[in-house]
Amino acid sequence: MNDIHDTSLETLKLLKYLIENNSICTNQLNTILNNDKSERSNLRQFKTIQYFFKKEFDVDIFEKSSRGCYEVVNKEVLRQSLNFADKKELLSYVKILKEILPNYYEKLDSDLKNEIENSSQKSKELYYFHNNPLEDFSNNHLLKEIEQSITKKRKVNFSYKNINYTDAKPLQIVFMEGNLYLAILTNEELNGGFKFLRINYIQEYKALTTEYNETAIISKAYEFLREFQTPFAWFDSDYKQVKISITEYAKEFFKLKKHLPSQAYKELPDSTAQLTYYVTNYMEIALLVKKWFPHLRIIEPIEWNERFKSEIKQYLESDK
C-alpha cells in the first residue's frame, strides 16, 4: 500500500541522512527535512523508518544515547534500502512521481535525485515497468488544497458523487492501483466514518478554520493506514483468518511471492499446500481467489466458501 505526498519525499531524505551520519537528535529534524513542521509531525518520518525496518527485517536502526538523541546502527541494511540499482520497484515509483506529481519530484534533494536518475537511466535497458494505467489527474489546485488541510489539520466540507460531507477530517493522500485517494474520517457511522475517496471525484473542497485534534480514533486510523492490504479493507473491523487450498500448478507462484502482506504459505504432509491470510472482509480475499480461479479454493470460513460458489454459479447461469 503507496502514499505519495510530502512525507514520502521527507522519508527518503531522512533515510539518506541516516546513511551518511552516525547519530541524530529529534530536534534536528526541521533542519534535516528543510521544513517548518512541528517536531511531533516530523517524528512520524522517524518512527516510520524505525517501524518499517523492525517489522520487515527485525532490525533496530537506532540505539538511544541520550534524551531525544540516537546512535544510527545497522547502517548496511539502511544502505541496501537505497541501493537503487537493486530496487526496480523504487524506479517505478519515481516514474509515478514524475507523471502525476512532478512538482514533488523536483523537491527531492539534488544529490538524491541525481542518483535516482543515473540508476534509472542505466536500468532502462534491463527493466520495463508495466504498471496499472495511471488515472488522468490534472487538478493540482485541488491537490494543493487537500495537502494544506492535512498539514494544518483543518476540518473540511466537500461533495463526492452528489453526496455532501461536512466537518470531515482529511488524514492522508494515498496512491494505489493507479489512482489517487484521500483517506478521510467523515461523520458517517458506517465503518467508523473512514473512507478512501477518489480525489478525481471530489468537488467543492473547502478547508474550514476549525482544526481537529489527534484523538484515539484518528490515531487508530493512522495505524490502519500503515497496515491495510487492499482498497476494500474495513477500518473499524477485526481481522478474520482465511484458509485457502492451492493447486500444484499455482504453488510456486505463492511460495515465491506474497500476494497480500499477511500471506503465510505452508507445505502439508500430503505434499499439498495451504495459504493463510488475515483480512477484514470477504471482498479482500474474493478478488484474489477470482484472479487465480480455479487454482485457489476457500476452505475457511465455510460461509465464504459457500458465498464464492454461489457467485460462480450465478455468473455461469447468467451466461446461458
- List the domain range (segments joined by +) for residue 100: 87-125
pLDDT at 277 over 90: yes
Cα–Cα separations (whole angstroms), residue 2 to 50, 64, 172, 211, 256 = 18, 30, 11, 26, 22
Say if residue 222 is in the same domain as residue 152.
yes
Say if residue 166 is in the same domain as residue 206.
yes
Give per-residue pLDDT as tens, 115-169: 666 666 665 555 555 555 566 666 678 888 999 999 999 999 999 999 999 999 9
Task: Report how far residue 192's alpha carbon sits from residue 6's, in angstroms, rounded to the nearest whole number.
Answer: 27
- 195 forms beta bridges with 184
The verdict on residue 130 lying in a domain is no
Say if residue 76 is in the same domain as residue 112.
no
Give per-residue pLDDT as tens, 186-239: 999 999 999 999 999 999 999 999 999 989 999 999 999 989 999 899 998 999
Say if residue 116 is in the same domain as residue 147.
no
Say if residue 96 is in the same domain as residue 30.
no
Task: Report how far residue 180's alpha carbon sits from residue 102's, in angstroms, rounded to the nearest whole number.
Answer: 14
Say if residue 186 is in the same domain as residue 222.
yes
- Determine the pLDDT at residue 5: 46
CA atoms within 13 A on the CB side of 285: 27
- 267 forms beta bridges with 273
The verdict on residue 304 lying in a domain is yes
Domain boundary among 226, 250, 277: 226
CB 38 within 8 A of CB 205: no
Total of domains in the chain? 4
Say if residue 259 is in the same domain as residue 301.
yes
pLDDT at 84 over 70: no
Q: What is the mean pLDDT of residues 293-312?
A: 96
Weakest mean pLDDT among 26-30, 229-233, 285-289: 26-30
pTM: 0.63
Task: Report how far residue 159's alpha carbon sits from residue 163's, in angstroms, rounded to the nearest whole number.
Answer: 5
What's 222's domain CATH number?
2.30.30.140
Weakest mean pLDDT among 85-94, 97-106, 192-201, 292-301: 85-94
